[in-house]
Amino acid sequence: MERQEHIPDGYIFRPTDAELLSYLALYVTGKPVLSTVPITEIDLYNGEEPSEIFKRSREKVMYIFTTLIRRSSSDSRYIRTIRDGKGTWKAQDRGKPIYRRYGNDDDDNQHLRQLIGYKRSLRYEKSGSKYDGRFLMKEYYFPSHIRATLERPLNDTVLCRIKRKQNNRDIMGFESGSIEEARNIGDIIGKLTKSNSSSEVNSLLETSH
C-alpha cells in the first residue's frame, strides 16, 4: 500500500493523539490517508536501525506505519529486537489510554469520554553504541476489541512517532496542533469503536468524509 506524499513548503505537521489514531484507522481499513500527511511505511523490525532510517530524512521527527512481529502465531507478545540483533525498542510503560471527549470542553463529566486507543513509550537501546538511548518512540494502537475486527497483519499494525534526541535533550515539541483537513476525519474513531465487524468499519469510513 504505497503512499504518495505531497507536502507543501512551510507545512508543519502537528497532529493530536486522536488525529494519529484517525490516520491509523484509515490505513488499516484500506482508505486513503491525506496526501499532505507525512506518514511513511517502514518495517521497523526488519534490519534497519533508526539511525539508518533517519539518514533518509532531514526531519527530527518521523511518523511511520509498521507491522509488529509476533513471537509466535499463538502468542500475543511481540518481538522488539531488530533483526540481526542490531538493537531493541525497550518499552517504558504499559501504554497510556487515549480518550475521545464528548460534550462541551468545560464539562468534566467522566462519563462523556470514550476509549479510542493507547500510546506506548519506547526507547531504542543498543549497548555500546553511540545511538543507545538516542531515539524515542510513541507507538499508537487500538484497543483489543477493535483489533479483533481486523485480519492479520492489519491487527498488528501500529503508527509510530519517532524522534531523535540532540545534545541529550528531548527535542520533541509536537503535542497538539491544527490540521484543517484532519478535522474531517475527527469522528472516525468514535464510529470505529462502535463497530463489530470489518465490513461495518469499512461502511462507516466510507460515509465519514
Report the pLDDT value the prediction gives residue 205, as an integer from 0 to 100. Answer: 45
pLDDT along the chain (209 residues), means of 10: 51 84 92 83 90 89 93 86 88 93 63 88 94 96 91 92 75 36 44 49 41
Report the pLDDT value the prediction gives residue 134, as an integer from 0 to 100. Answer: 94
Q: What is the pTM of this model?
A: 0.75
Cβ partners under 8 Å of residue 19, min gap 6:
179, 182, 185, 186
- pLDDT one-digit tens code per residue, 192-207: 545 544 444 443 344 3
C-beta separation of 172 from 192 below 8 A: no
CA 164 to chain CA mean position, Å: 16
- pLDDT one-digit tens code per residue, 44-53: 998 789 999 9
C-beta separation of 29 from 201 below 8 A: yes
Residue 21 main-chain phi, psi, to 5 deg = -65, -30
Question: Helices 17-28 and 198-206 sit at what angle, rounded to 10 degrees?
Answer: 110
Q: Helix, strand, or coil here: 101?
A: strand
Q: Which amino acid is at 138?
A: K
Report the pLDDT value the prediction gives residue 68, as an integer from 0 to 100. Answer: 94
